Structure 1
Amino acid sequence: MPADLLFEIGCEEIPAKMLARQLVDVPAFVELRLAAARLEHKGVRALGTPRRLAVIVKQLVDRQPDLHEEVVGPPVSAAFAPDGTLTKAGQGFAAKNGVAPESLQKKQVAGKKGEYVVAVRDVTGQDARALLPNLLSELAASIAWPKSQRWGWSETTFVRPVQWLVAVHGGEVVPLTWAGHTAGRSSRGHRFLSPGPIEIASADSYVEALRGAHVVVDPDARKDLVRAELKRLEGATGLRVRADETLLGEVIHLGEYPVGVSGEFDPAFLEIPEEIIVTSMRTHQRYFAMERPSDGKLANRFATMMATIVKDPTVVQKGNQKVLASRLTDGKFFVSEDRKKKSFDFWNTKLDSVVFQAKLGDKARTIGHKVRRLEKIAAALGTFASLDAAQIELVKQAARVCKADLASLAVGEFPELQGVMGRHYARDFGLPTEVAAAIDEHWWPKGQGAALPITPAGAIIALADRMDTIVGCFAVGLEPSGSADPFGLRRAAIGIWQILLSRPDWSSLWTPLFAASRDALSEQGVTVKEPTAVEEFFRGRLRGILIDGGIPAQDADAALAQDFRDPIDARARALACAKISKEAREVFKRVSNILDDARGKKLAIPDKVDAAKFVADVERNLHAAVADAQTREKAPRASRDYPAVFDSLERLRPTVAAFFDKGGVMVMDPDPALRDNRLALLQWFIEPYLRIADFRLLAGAA
């Protein structure tokens, strides 16, 4: 009968981020392995703590189903010689599928021409108990970790040295040995609170058995426990824990039994930028910041999680406070020293010796060179964005100092605060508020779904910075390949599209942005030899954005095949493709094929239609209908109301269909004058629609 399967790998401490990733990836991985083994089940769930990774398979069958299958092989002509004997290809096919050569059958196969050799296989299903030892061993060995280890004399690799194995199916131990350990039903409790062995009777009792041994193995339950502990600390301090889902998602994987503790730091540290304090706590120490409920301002307290219950929490509290005080002292010193500079000039000078990309050459390789390019690109882009002279001057001023804080002591210690510290220092140095904001915002968006630049200056410099990086890397052969993208060019391109999509008035800025970037690099001796490669790269990134937004792939492809440079227009065209009926798609396909065939024969299609050459009513009717359609579609096209354009097309479609149906005309008429005029008529009809999408790429086109 079906029963639950438990497989637990106990090991030394798994890094939190690696554990979090596997808890997401392992279930799908296990499902693939079980499907390959023909073992049916009702679902897979991954559980884990830093000291263990486990999977529970619900209602795993105790036996494979019997298999009857027909395997299609090579054509009969390839499998059999003229004298009826098997060729080497036929013999190899029989051997590969484990059937006797004389049992091979000859059959017609759907979708294929001629007869094919077919091997009929009847395979008796095996017991799950016979399959699971190898399956689980191979599963454990195949889990992909960013980094793995070997230990002792074994060649086995895993994220950390394996300490024990538990494998139980339906209450019975699965007999397997892997990584030097034989599986049993003995797990282990909390290292300090319940260090002894814990006997697991079945998969059903696993979670509760470990909970009794101070191990919260369910990550969702651990998250609930951490939330409850944070609430307890809020009640004890009268403060509010600042919401931080990212930190919460990491903290739950730092221990097996989280217990909250709070601490405080010297209020004098509140004088330094808040981001320094919060970064010191969350990034370096995994502490939660606490704030005053009345106004949301940062308080001089923090909350964190211990991985165990201790007799005297104040000992842990004091240790945490001491470590944080040391970090904040360093941060305060760095900020104090930075503020003594009084301007960005000192740091900008240092940027002339900081290499951005060595392959760009001596005239373009440093961040200082990049800053000078950004000023030119941003100024040009500001003009195309219709900014006034004062706004453009602010953009240029912000571009000149947007990278200066990279040379500061604070950013050297806290690199994640690039831009943030520049904003603070710009205010300290008396620069305009718009300039200070742009320094910070030009790094936005910092990831998928992150905030976009708010100010025009910030958005323009963000566009210029990303395009300069992309174009420069492509110019020197550093474009992404496969999954490798060491310079983050895909992320940069997506950022450009996100910014342009968020600003309808700027949707046409891609072309001048690309041109300005190439010009700025050219002035420093860097030439883009294959600009089309950059264009195709951007087309691909926009395609991904459209598909992620719910647009079918074929609709995105059809729209982007015509043009991609205006992302808002491209999105509107792609969305409208869903309005095109199957019948209209078939008409477009037929017309496109006729025109493509004519061009392939080197026929010169006239630019204009000559109505005087019409000899049939269907020609005159189509000419009049197309003229009417183009008139009524002018306003919708101007306003990007492409669904209205396709509604108009639907009214036109029957007339186009009649042109080809019985009673219509032969387009490729023997008379060249009639033929060419009919080709011109079809081209006149289809060209305005092809500016919306390449309908040959749409699903449903015959």
Structure 2
Amino acid sequence: MALQLLVEIGTEEIPARFIPPVLEEMKTSFQKRLDQERIRVAELSTMGTPRRLALMGRDLAAQQDEITAEIIGPPQTVAFDAEGRPTQAAQGFARAQGVTVADLVMVSTERGPYLAIKKSTPGQPTRQRLPEILPEWILGLSFPKSMRWGSETITFARPIHWIVALLGDEVIRFSLGGVSSGAVTYGHRFMAPQAITLVAADSQAYLKALEQAYVLVDPVARQEKLVKELEQAAAQVNGQVVHNPELVQENTFLVEFPSTSCGKFEAKFLELPDEVLITAMREHQRYFSLREASGKLLPHFIAINNTLARDPQVVQQGHERVLRARLSDAMFFFQEDSKIPLDNWVEELKGVVFHSLLGTSYEKMERFRALGRYLAERLSPDKVEAVSRAATLCKADLVSGMVGEFPSLQGVMGREYARRAGEAIEVVEAIFDHYLPRHAGDRLPDNQVGALVGLADRLDTICGCFGVGLIPTGAADPYGLRRQALAIINILADKKFYLDLAAAIGFSLNLLQDKLTAASEQTGAEVLDFFRARLHHLLTGEGFSFEVVDAVLSTAFTDVVEALEKVRALQEVRRSPDFPALAVAFKRVINISRDTPPGPIDPKLFEYPAEHDLLAATEQMEATVSQALPARDYPAVCRALAALKEPVDRFFDDVLVMTEDLSRRHNRLALLVRISQTFLKMADFSRITI
């Protein structure tokens, strides 16, 4: 008989950001524990609010699955004599298992027939296992931060106040942190704090009972109500809510029963940049901003409340009073910042430590400004001076009052102050764009100046950290170097910047000479390998064949965009009928010439026509490749390489490479090495299986 399960952990208010990940963990970890316990369940679901985390199980098996074990005994030849009578070995095995020889069976194994016994152990009732499973599962849940309370030694996100544990209509009894499980939950802390006794583990009845007590346990239903009320409140002032899914989710997990309050602020604050107003409302108060249909910000906001207000006007005035203070602070900082030239702030960076091992933010700026000029000279020569100016100013706002109050506005305020100071538009936009992308899925820089400054800034950070031993490990990447390397790769690919990455790394490390604690050459190799690994991870994650990516990146990797194009071309060629010929030809060449150094080829030492034919085909192939590679026509490169299939096969059929005549042997190996070197300009085809 299948049973329904309901578990609710009632707590003090859990931070909103803790809840979504733990709800997912609750489901996966409980499913894993049920699998270990051999308890089947049709479906698990989780829901939660700041004050409760709930797990519901549909059609939970009433009993563990039975265990059937097969115990192998002696082989048939040992267990029975020539007349088929059980030997002492068979009788001893049966006695050890507590059965008679007649209960034993013969089973087939890889080593032949063996005597065995199959034992079945019945499962325990689920209700007997849950008192052990549930407390262990609850304490195993992880949070960014946990706490202890009172004299208890257990830890949880917040103190536990009650636990509901129902299997059907039966309470699963256990105690945790001084709290005994039961069938009693509680409604909204302020609007319906009374106890609610649940009759059974009926999820619909549970949700309905709490909804009547002003608790929407289901976050989907809670968010739908929140969004609907946002839209209604915005319509009252002819506005539209500024799109912010993260703020919607955060408010969803800040309340148990959302209601809205639409307030207003003084029009003078609209003189502040839009980003300042939106950030002040969002980060400090979790308020939603409103725009007109034209896109202009309105002097209104919407707050999300956790209660239905007795007097909405009083609540609205309270929100307005708090926001007025925040916006007044923002206005003060903005006005004071506007009095100071950006170049003055650049000087102040000399007093800001970037890292104790890598110097001040001013020193870092000087390094990546020089690196930015180096990149611009090679990738966009007409942008050198713009890159230099943008690099000089892009960190200046870090010492501004506004960024000190709202750190998330770094780049945004620098862009605004530069615009007001009359800087060139490409410099203005680059000050913000050089931070892009800020996180996974974020947009890439729109202009080349911002892209080049962003590349230089990130490459200086990566080279600096590697140069002083701050290298990411499998468990930690405190400086976000993997994310920064991925950003560099994506920017290079997006802008089609064909950059000699090894040379750029070398230039960056040269600027860091007085900071490095490791040899420059060794550090450069480690940084290049780091980029190779990130690109490998990115491409395989995008669905490219592991072998194709490995074949391209195992050669002389130094240009990200070229590597991307080679992988795309080789992936396409691998699907064509020509590819097996290409791979076979290379493998035959590389297998016999591996570890052989290059050498001169003397046609006078050729004995067979196949040698002359292969040299002629090689020269023709080299001519085609020498034109196709600079043009980055990688499909043409692959076709030229594949054309060697027949002359290579004929060469191996007619010619003994490892002849006793050493001069001819070295001559033939030199020819094969020459071919392999050309192949390796595209990829190491030996890494690809056919």
* Match 1:427 to one of 419, 422, 425: 419
The answer to whether the 8 Å contact 2:605/2:667 transfers is: no
Q: How far 1:546 moved relative to its partner?
A: 1.6
Distance 1:119 1:564 in 2: 60
Question: Partners in 1 of 2:604 and 2:163 — Cα distance?
Answer: 84
Residue number in structure 1 paired with 2:679 = 689
Is the contact made by 1:20 and 1:250 (CA closer than 8 Å) also made in structure 2?
A: no
- 1:444/1:451 contact within 8 Å kept: yes
Please tell me whether residue 375 in structure 1 is matched to residue 365 in structure 2: no
1:6/1:166 contact within 8 Å kept:
yes
Q: Identify the residue that residue 438 of structure 1 maps to in structure 2.
A: 430
Q: Within 5 Å, which residues of 2 pair with 1:176-575?
A: 176-200=174-198, 201-205=200-204, 206-293=206-293, 295-341=294-340, 343-360=341-358, 365-388=359-382, 391-504=383-496, 506-522=497-513, 529=520, 530-575=523-568
* Structure-2 separation of matches of 1:191 and 1:16: 17
Matched to 2:505, the amino acid is F
Tell me how far apart the structure 1 counterparts of residues 54 and 407 of structure 2 sit (CA, whole Å): 36
Q: Which deviations, in whole Å up to 9, do the C-alpha atoms of 1:346-394 show, x marking residues without a partner?
A: 212221111111113xxxx111111222221122221111322xx3222
Amino acid at match of 1:284: H
Q: Could you tell me the percent identity over the aligned residues?
A: 37
Is the CA contact 1:471–1:528 (under 8 Å) kept in the aligned structure 2?
A: no
CA distance in 1, matches of 2:169, 2:566: 59
Give 3-state SS (helix, strand or coil) of 1:192's partner: coil
Q: Partner of 2:255: helix, strand, or coil? A: coil
Q: 1:330 to 1:589 in 2, by over 3 A?
A: same
- Rounded to whole Å, the distance in 1 between the matches of 2:569 and 2:541 is 16
The alignment partner of 1:299 has SS state of strand
In 1: Cα distance, 2:3 partner to 2:602 partner? 75
Map of 1:66 onto structure 2: 66
- More moved, 241-250 vs 18-27: 18-27
Shift of 1:587: 6.0
320-329 or 170-179, larger mean C-alpha shift = 170-179
Secondary structure (helix, strand or coil) at the match of 2:354 reads coil
The whole-number CA distance in structure 1 between the counterparts of 2:511 and 2:334 is 34
Q: Distance in 2 between matches of 1:476 and 1:497?
A: 23
- Mapped to 2, the partners of 1:154 and 1:536 lie a distance apart of 49
Q: Please, what TM-score do these two structures have when normalized by structure 1?
A: 0.85
Q: Which amino acid aligns with 1:326?
A: A
Report the number of matched residues. Answer: 656
Relative to 1, partners in 2 of residues 1:608 and 1:304: Cα closer, same or farther, differing over 3 Å? farther
Distance 1:211 1:595, change over 3 A: farther
- Point out the structure with max Rg over C-alpha: 2
Contact 1:609 / 1:681 at 8 angstroms: preserved in 2?
no
Q: CA deviation at 1:261?
A: 1.4
Q: Structure 2 vs 1, CA of residues 521 and 253 (structure 1 numbering), >3 Å: closer, same or farther?
A: same
Give the secondary structure class of the aligned counterpart of 1:183.
strand
Deviation at 1:264, TM superposition (A): 0.8
Equivalent residues of 1:611, 1:620 under 8 A apart: no
Distance, in Å, in 1 between the alignment partners of 2:26 and 2:545 is 29
Distance 2:55 2:645 in 1: 57
Could you list the runs of 5+ residues in structure 2 that have no partner in the other structure?
A: 73-92
Provide structure 1 residue ranges, at least 5 long, that are not aligned to the other structure: 73-93
In the TM superposition, 1:633-648 aligns within 5 A as: 637-643=629-635, 645-646=637-638
Partner residue in 2 for 1:79 = none
Between the aligned partners of 1:358 and 1:557, the Cα distance in structure 2 is 38
How far, CA to CA, are the matches of 2:70 and 2:663 in structure 1? 57
Deviation of 1:499 (Å)? 1.0
Query: In structure 2, do the counterparts of structure 1 residues 319 and 41 end up closer, same or farther at CA, with 3 Å as the change threshold?
Result: same
How many angstroms apart in 1 are the aligned matches of 2:460 and 2:677? 35
Which amino acid is 2:41 matched to? H
Give how far 1:56 is off. 2.3
Give the C-alpha shift of residue 512 in structure 1. Answer: 4.1
Q: Report what 2:83 is aligned to.
A: none
Structure 1, 587-596 or 151-160: larger mean CA deviation: 587-596
Distance in 2, Cα, partners of 1:4 & 1:696:
57
Kindly report the root-mean-square deviation, in angstroms, between the aligned alpha carbons of the 2 structures. 3.5
CA contact (8 A) 1:43 1:57 kept: yes
Distance 1:512 1:70, change over 3 A: farther
TM-score (norm 2): 0.86
Q: Distance in 2 between matches of 1:70 and 1:559?
A: 50
Q: Secondary structure at the match of 1:359?
A: coil
Amino acid across the alignment from 1:453:
P
TM superposition shift of 1:190:
1.5
How far is 1:173 from its partner? 2.9
> In structure 2, what is the equivalent of residue 85 of structure 1?
none
**1:596-647 per-position Cα deviation (integer Å, ceiling 9, x unaligned):** 3xx3xxx556454748525475x66666665665566566544444455445
Q: Retained in 1: the 8 A contact 2:468–2:515?
A: no
Q: What residue in structure 1 maps to residue 84 of structure 2?
A: none
Q: 1:138 to 1:172 in 2, by over 3 A?
A: same
Q: 1:57 to 1:558 in 2, by over 3 A?
A: farther
Q: Distance in 2 between matches of 1:250 and 1:605?
A: 64
Q: CA deviation at 1:576?
A: 3.8
Q: Cα 1:671–1:147, aligned 2, differ >3 Å: closer, same or farther?
A: same
Partner SS, residue 473 of structure 2: coil
CA 1:40/1:237 → structure 2, altered by over 3 Å: closer, same or farther?
A: same
CA deviations 1:83-132 (Å, max 9, x no partner) are xxxxxxxxxxx9xxx999x99x999769xxx9999998754333322322
Residue 166 of structure 1 corresponds to 164
1:593-604 aligned at under 5 Å gives the runs 593-596=591-594, 599=595
Greater Cα offset, 54-63 or 370-379: 54-63
1:278-326 CA-to-partner distances (Å, cap 9, x unmatched) read 1110111111110011x10111111121112121122221111111110
